[in-house]
Structure 1
Amino acid sequence: MPSFATIATAFVSSLTLASAAFSATSKNNVVYYWGQGPDQADLSTACSNPAVDIVVIGFINVYPDQGNHSYPGSNFGNACDGTTYTTVPGLFSGSSGEETELLKKCDGINPGIKVCQAAGKKVLLSLGGGYPHNGWLKSETSANDFADFLWGAFGPQKSTWVNSGKPRPFGDAIVDGFDFDIETYSFATTPTDSNGQTLTAPESYGYDYMIARLRSHYATVARTYYISGAPQCIISDVHLGPSIANSWYDFLFVQLYNTPECSARASLTPGKSTFTLDKWEAVVAQNPNPNIRVFLGLPASTKASASADYYLTPSEVYTLTEPLYSSMEHFGGIMLWEATYAARNTICGQDYTGWMEKVLGACASNKALVTACPSSSSSSSIIRSTSSVQSSTSSRISTTSSAQISSSSSAFSSSSSSKVSSSSSAVNSPVVTSSSSS
């Protein structure tokens, strides 16, 4: 029987001919996170979806300043077997042979990244995530050292790094950049700086240093690398607000769920919303990157957020997206949490990611979103699977026939909190709510 690597290599070869050109400034990009889905399929499967343009792997959830023996830690759900790296001299603490929280054996991620990239998709690695992320940066030096580690461990593979025994969790696979999904609202201990003094604004401190350091590494190679952020929808985001004002971001995946007052759902309820995505135009106008793109961040099923009410049907997504698409100069597309939920949310024979591609295509062509099911489908109307809320009729949506959420969506597991746990993961969806602090 051929090995997984052999099959993946053959699949990559077959995709190379069909690679599509990625445009960072397109308004039609679809993004989803992968790495924390319940009983998730491997990364190669997520990367084989033709509707997705950017896949964000989550998460590096432990910072060196708080990690075992000053190493970062990671969690990619069921993609790894639990084996971790041990420390090597010359990296962070300088000790040798001590156990860390950095996962070592995640065999499917390496070929998965290559499948994605062969298909013309970009792969980003995300820092942070939801609970139990408890990280902060103690100093500018800490921020720079962390950025140097990320570049060495996940950027272009260098013989000096490998020969010294330093970690390469994804082997020779190279990510296309890094995502900042910072969501810590409370800390297990009082955050202090490198001198032991209480740190001011630990939620946001140091990310501008990290991004500048990563950008300095990016400038040394010909290949294009990206920086993205996943702020909460309230302006200004308590975690990324300062760095968004000062640092060069390529993409912002604004989380329009789990914060009731500015959620995408609230925007469809007249008089109930302080919806903010359009207001992010003024925010990003101050960013150093004139071509930064802002994404509409949505849960990919009724199980993917703190409440099923945050979920929008494709028709509702179109109602929300159509005016933004034409009015927002920096609109970039749609972000979904997350790949597994999107794949299992089948509507009229099409997964949710494919429907998001259709929504953006309809907006781009200035046409109504056609939601009619094929004649073979027994479904007769697009409905929200757990709610009686109907989609708005204010935009040009074809409603002659539509799809019912597939019963397969009931196979999703969910927790009682706003976090969605995978079968082997302590890290959850980037959906922390704190209206008082974000």
Structure 2
Amino acid sequence: SYLFNPRSKTNIAAYFGQSAATGRTSLLAQCSDLNQDIIILGFLTAISYNSSPFPRLELSASCPNAPTPLMTQFAPGLAHYPLLEEEIRLCQLRYGKKVMMSLGGRDKVLELRSESEARGFADLVWGLFGPVGSVDGGLRPFGAAVIDGIDLDKSDGRPAYWDVFGAQLRARFAQDKSKDYFLSAAPQCAFPDTSIPLGYLLQCNFVWPQFFNSPRCEISSDGFLDTLALWSRALSSGVSPLRDASAHSTRFLVGLPSREAAAGSDPLGPSDQVSVALLGESGRVYVLGWV
């Protein structure tokens, strides 16, 4: 039977929830795919929404959902997804896969204005998607289902206080001994990233820079190999006491689109360049699929 290994050199992660492809598949179908180890739900797109202190969740319209009475009254940006609630549990229990919740998404702005706001938002995200108890069940989008971690995918140029957000989540992870939780990020490929600070990235179990849609460093560009080396050195040299024991070092994955429509141009380029890059970073580079 399948057993997830966060230190595996063959892990593949893929996003689910905000593309045309979502309507042609299901979360359970992705989880049953032997080639996928981590499935990331996207996205939580706003820290607060419509004068509400609760965030906004935007998933594909093909995912059945309806607001609960509490959501209608207090959290208009949220809805309950009963099918996803069931499928998250089946993904975890039947297939052993990890299901994470991603914050951000293309062209979305997530700005934290203080350390206290960062800690408060981390606690709210934990209450909405982590273990049941700290937030009323009528406000939880996936009901009693508990995600396996949080992913950050943003390119808004607002990096302040996200390291504090990550540290607060790490503190919450440590309080639940029932299972491992993971932290990840999908920065742009240019290093250093201008939206997700290194202080957050060094707390992550997985970092998957997006090596596409960026002429300076996408995988088909002349700058790809140098940028790959910069990321690898930065993530391997940093030591964070906040990272849990589930990974001895931050796992570095190469973010690529798994379908042509997810990239504005051919992202792969010559296959020999990709092969050399992966061999040159043996044991450090993994693959992330963007669906």
User: How far does the alpha carbon of each residue in 1:4-47 deviate from its partner, in whole angstroms, 9 at most, with x for none?
Assistant: xxxxxxxxxxxxxx3x1211111110111000120342211121
Is residue 161 of structure 1 aligned with residue 135 of structure 2? yes
Distance 2:34 2:68 in 1: 34
Report deviation, 1:311.
4.5
**TM-aligned CA distance change 1:145 to 1:86, over 3 Å:** farther
Contact persistence 1:79–1:107 (CA under 8 A): no
Unpaired runs of 5+ in structure 2? Answer: none
- The residue number in structure 2 matching 1:124 is 100
- The residue number in structure 2 matching 1:45 is 29
Is residue 336 of structure 1 aligned with residue 270 of structure 2? no
Distance 2:267 2:206 in 1: 23
Is residue 204 of structure 1 aligned with residue 159 of structure 2? yes
Other structure's SS at 1:262 match: coil
Other structure's SS at 1:31 match: strand
**TM-aligned CA distance change 1:329 to 1:217, over 3 Å:** farther
- The residue number in structure 2 matching 1:140 is 115
User: How far does the alpha carbon of each residue in 1:253-310 deviate from its partner, in whole angstroms, 9 at most, with x for none?
Assistant: 11000011100122xxxxx335412221211122425511100111112211122x22
State how 1:274-353 maps to structure 2 within 5 Å: 274-275=224-225, 276-284=227-235, 285-288=237-240, 290-307=248-265, 309-311=266-268, 316=271, 319-328=272-281, 331-338=284-291
Contact persistence 1:27–1:333 (CA under 8 A): yes
Other structure's SS at 1:303 match: helix
- The residue number in structure 1 matching 2:4 is 22
Contact persistence 1:44–1:111 (CA under 8 A): no
State how 1:136-285 maps to structure 2 within 5 Å: 136-158=111-133, 161-162=135-136, 167-185=139-157, 203-222=158-177, 223-244=179-200, 247-266=202-221, 272-275=222-225, 276-284=227-235, 285=237
Distance 2:4 2:290 in 1: 21
Distance 2:7 2:199 in 1: 20
**TM-aligned CA distance change 1:140 to 1:27, over 3 Å:** same
Distance 1:99 1:217 in 2: 23
Is residue 68 of structure 1 aligned with residue 51 of structure 2? yes
Distance 1:150 1:40 in 2: 29
Report deviation, 1:107.
2.2
% same residue: 28
Distance 1:181 1:281 in 2: 19
User: How far does the alpha carbon of each residue in 1:76-110 deviate from its partner, in whole angstroms, 9 at most, with x for none?
Assistant: 1124456345668xxxxxxx9245211x2322211
Structure 2 letter corresponding to 1:128: G
Contact persistence 1:58–1:125 (CA under 8 A): yes
Contact persistence 1:125–1:175 (CA under 8 A): yes
Distance 2:68 2:77 in 1: 7
Distance 2:34 2:42 in 1: 21
Is residue 112 of structure 1 aligned with residue 87 of structure 2? yes
Distance 2:112 2:290 in 1: 26
Report deviation, 1:327.
3.4
**TM-aligned CA distance change 1:35 to 1:184, over 3 Å:** same
Distance 1:228 1:63 in 2: 18
Unpaired runs of 5+ in structure 1? Answer: 1-17, 89-95, 186-202, 267-271, 339-438
Report deviation, 1:326.
4.0
TM-score by length of 1: 0.59
**TM-aligned CA distance change 1:153 to 1:302, over 3 Å:** same
Structure 1 letter corresponding to 2:228: L
Distance 1:86 1:239 in 2: 35
Other structure's SS at 2:256 match: strand
TM-score by length of 2: 0.87
Report deviation, 1:248.
1.3
Tell me the matched-pair count.
279
**TM-aligned CA distance change 1:26 to 1:332, over 3 Å:** farther
Structure 2 letter corresponding to 1:174: V
